[in-house]
Structure 1
Amino acid sequence: MITLRPASERGTANFGWLDSKHSFSFGSYYDPEHMGFSALRVINDDSVDPGAGFATHGHRDMEIISYVLEGSIAHKDSEGNVEVLPAGEFQLMSAGSGITHSEYNASKTEPLKFLQIWIQPNTLGNTPGYQQKNFGQAIGLTTIATPTGENDTLHIKQNATLSQLILAPHSEQTYTIAAGRKVYVHQVAGELKVESQRLAAGDGVKITERQTITFKNELDDQSTALLFDLP
């Protein structure tokens, strides 16, 4: 089964300095039909004004991934990590037993656009952790996060895998889904055909009860998506 989550139907929040689109229920946006998907709990598509950002706040027992699309994030947390994430960078913060952090647009003149993703861990009370890496822009599937951290991927505390899918113009790729697994695809840029469903930026699809899935880019521009393989 393939179920479309259109970008146009996402929840919204606008605080002046922040314009956010919510794929799943978050903050003041509540939709019982969209509370998450398997262990995937949050995908927020955030645009932050120059110099603005999220003041210090706390999290616990959540795997929080930030993926910078444009601009850069200035990050600081209670574990002593002070970092800047440029465009193309992935950050995984394991909140575990508790962590506080702040996130700001590192630029005073340019906007920041990034995806904030929350995945529920399969164990609680873990030691907080921080990881950051740029995985490049290789064509095809690039594994970003795994339960083991193998092959220099980010180590996520859940039986889930996050991959980056980049398709060149007029190309396709087939993905094999293990028995009992679910897949969620979030379109980042360009367009993607997932079997009969067409995705534009911000769209998503929930995929269940499939053994394989074929992705096609039928246009003249490159397509970029995130693929979550979930329990």
Structure 2
Amino acid sequence: MDVLLDNLDLYGPGFLTTIELFALSAIGALILGTFLAMLRVSPVPVFRIVATTYVTLFRNTPLTLIFFFFAFAFQFLEIVQISFFTAAVVALSLYTAAFICEVVRSGINTVPVGQAEAGRALGLTFGQILGNVVLPQATRSVVPPMVSTLIALLKNTTIAAGFSVVEAGAIQAYLSERGYSVLIGLLWVALFFVILVTPLTLLQRSLEKRWSVAR
């Protein structure tokens, strides 16, 4: 307990930064990932190729390399100067969006083709069919894998510690400098991550229960 109480100045800001990283990255990944999923099921071949290329590239590139690019290599391009925190948000968003895209696309594929055909028969556009017919139904089936992807995103925020972002993953280094037990410190970090993941798990179960009753 002394390790925690004596180092609240590390745990507090560290986990606050972790939550900020997670929240901003989750919003960016959900928006971009959903957009990419729409491109992947688009009737326009060029859109499908672009989205497929993006997903293939980012899903098969280690997250550390993406972090390295935006934290260091991107700065040398002199397009725009961004902070390490912003670079971390961009890297996490772009990486996670590829997985969100596949989750949403799999949900879209669970909706019977007849639903889209009925929408076309009514004169709806592709966007209207997706937004008003397909996506609302697909949402029910994507909740479990979506929550799993967001939990993975939460844990991936610890990689930012290696790129000068002071968050939960960096706590162990500071504890070592102060002479405290790193093992005990990491156990507290693990406990706090369990606490952060719990609301996501409860939300998943709540939505699954609600929508299963609605069916």
Structure with greater strand share of residues: 1
Q: Rg bigger for which structure?
A: 2
Normalised TM-score (structure 2)? 0.24
Normalised TM-score (structure 1)? 0.23
Structure with greater helix share of residues: 2
